[in-house]
């Protein structure tokens, strides 16, 4: 899927759509994302499992929209071509720009954190039964824990050999002891699943969060996991103030699990980037791994 093919599908699927400008946004791992006229966003899945994510997102967004204060995408259409060869999701473009680490340095962490903490409190309060009725799979915390164990094995096999000896040894030691039974000690809630700055839109003039996008990884899981990217990719102030604004913290081990997920973050990110051929991103996360495990180069 490329821009030319995406534009052709859009014109065929939406003959009344007047396309004045069209631009590819290169942030998406799972989908080709196109900005249309600066007014709409179109997403084309790159893989079969990406299509499943878009369909899940389509079912989920109306429920989320009524449960949280922050804006989420308002879907205009989800088109599945008759031959099953193409799926495109179109929604109204939300205002704002991605919360990059560079932009974050210019914004007051306390303003952003209050908004994000309230958003996560509201999101995690949606009744799981409502979500299961939409097709989200219920999750047993033990199954969640087992999934992390399997992921740890894949990291050890595919990622650690790419690291220098010292970093690999430190990461291997962490994998052996860090993924423990505490990762099964939570009450499942709806999580966004990918809440990093690339999916948080802000207005830098007002320090206002203007939208939370890309809900394809949403699932029933550990509420602590939604703090992972904030901890790993952003300032300590933003992470800590957001966690402080999130009330009530669901269990005593909540913050400890965030720490575990944050240390795993560059390892599994490198794994996934390598699997889909994103070499530059893979190298970024391998370098982040060296920083996380205290190995300077």
Is residue 297 assigned to a domain?
Answer: no
Query: 65 is in which domain, residue-wise?
Result: 3-92
| Integer CA distances (angstroms), 240 to 60, 261, 273, 279, in order | 28, 15, 28, 31
* 278 plus 132 within the same structural domain: yes
Q: In terms of C-beta density within 10 A (0-12 exposed, 13-18 middle, 19 or more buried), how is residue 296 classed?
A: exposed
* 130 plus 84 within the same structural domain: no
Is residue 65 assigned to a domain?
Answer: yes
* 106 plus 243 within the same structural domain: yes
Which residue among 69, 92, 115 closes a domain? 92
| Integer CA distances (angstroms), 173 to 97, 183, 257, in order | 39, 17, 17
* 33 plus 109 within the same structural domain: no
Q: Per residue of the chain (297 residues), give pLDDT as tens.
A: 788 888 888 888 888 889 999 999 866 678 889 999 999 999 988 888 888 888 889 899 999 999 999 999 998 887 776 555 568 889 999 999 999 989 999 999 999 999 999 999 999 999 988 888 888 888 899 999 999 999 999 999 999 999 999 999 999 999 999 999 999 999 999 999 999 999 999 999 999 999 999 999 999 999 999 999 999 999 999 999 999 999 877 788 999 999 999 999 999 999 999 998 889 999 999 999 999 997 554
Which residue among 92, 126, 153 closes a domain? 92
Is residue 285 assigned to a domain?
Answer: yes
Give the domain CATH number at 70: 3.30.200.20
* 53 plus 113 within the same structural domain: no
Is residue 162 assigned to a domain?
Answer: yes
* 50 plus 163 within the same structural domain: no
Specify the 3-state DSSP secondary structure of 168.
helix
* 172 plus 113 within the same structural domain: yes
Q: Indicate if the alpha-carbon torsion angle 170, 282, 229, 217 is positive or negative.
A: negative
Which residue among 92, 122, 141 closes a domain? 92
Q: Is 96 left (phi over 0), alpha (psi -120 to 50) or beta?
A: left
Number of domains making up the chain = 2
Is residue 58 assigned to a domain?
Answer: yes
* 30 plus 146 within the same structural domain: no
Is residue 113 assigned to a domain?
Answer: yes
* 203 plus 275 within the same structural domain: yes
CB atoms near residue 87 (< 10 Å): 21
* 57 plus 110 within the same structural domain: no
Give the domain CATH number at 118: 3.90.1200.10
**208, 103 Cβ separation under 8 angstroms:** no
* 17 plus 125 within the same structural domain: no
* 182 plus 279 within the same structural domain: yes
Is residue 48 assigned to a domain?
Answer: yes
Q: What is the pLDDT of residues 39-94, one digit of tens each?
A: 999 998 888 888 888 888 989 999 999 999 999 999 888 777 655 556 888 999 99
């Amino acid at each position: 899927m490329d821009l030319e093919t995406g534009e052709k599908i859009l014109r065929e699927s939406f003959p009344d759509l007047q396309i004045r400008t069209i631009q590819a946004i290169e942030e998406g791992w799972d989908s080709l994302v196109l900005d249309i006229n600066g007014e709409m966003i179109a997403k084309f899945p790159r893989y079969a499992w990406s299509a499943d994510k878009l369909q899940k997102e389509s079912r989920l967004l109306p429920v989320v929209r009524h449960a949280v204060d922050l804006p989420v995408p308002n879907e205009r259409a989800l088109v599945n071509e008759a031959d099953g060869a193409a799926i495109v999701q179109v929604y109204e473009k939300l205002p704002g720009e991605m919360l990059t680490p560079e932009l974050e340095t210019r914004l007051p962490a306390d303003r952003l954190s209050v908004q994000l903490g309230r958003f996560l409190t509201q999101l995690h309060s949606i009744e799981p039964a409502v979500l299961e009725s939409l097709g989200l799979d219920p999750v047993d915390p033990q199954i969640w824990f087992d999934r992390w164990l399997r992921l740890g094995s894949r990291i050890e096999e595919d990622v650690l050999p790419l690291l220098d000896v010292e970093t690999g040894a430190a990461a291997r030691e962490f994998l052996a002891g860090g993924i423990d039974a505490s990762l099964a000690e939570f009450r499942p809630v709806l999580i966004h699943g990918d809440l990093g700055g690339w999916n948080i839109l802000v207005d830098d003039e007002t320090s206002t969060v203007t939208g939370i996008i890309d809900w394809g990884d949403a699932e029933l899981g550990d509420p602590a996991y939604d703090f992972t990217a904030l901890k790993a990719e952003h300032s300590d102030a933003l992470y800590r103030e957001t966690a402080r604004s999130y009330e009530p913290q669901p269990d005593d081990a909540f913050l400890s699990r965030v720490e575990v997920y944050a240390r795993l973050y560059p390892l599994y990110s490198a794994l996934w980037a390598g699997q889909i051929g994103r070499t530059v991103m893979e190298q970024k996360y391998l370098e982040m791994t060296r920083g996380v495990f205290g190995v300077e180069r």
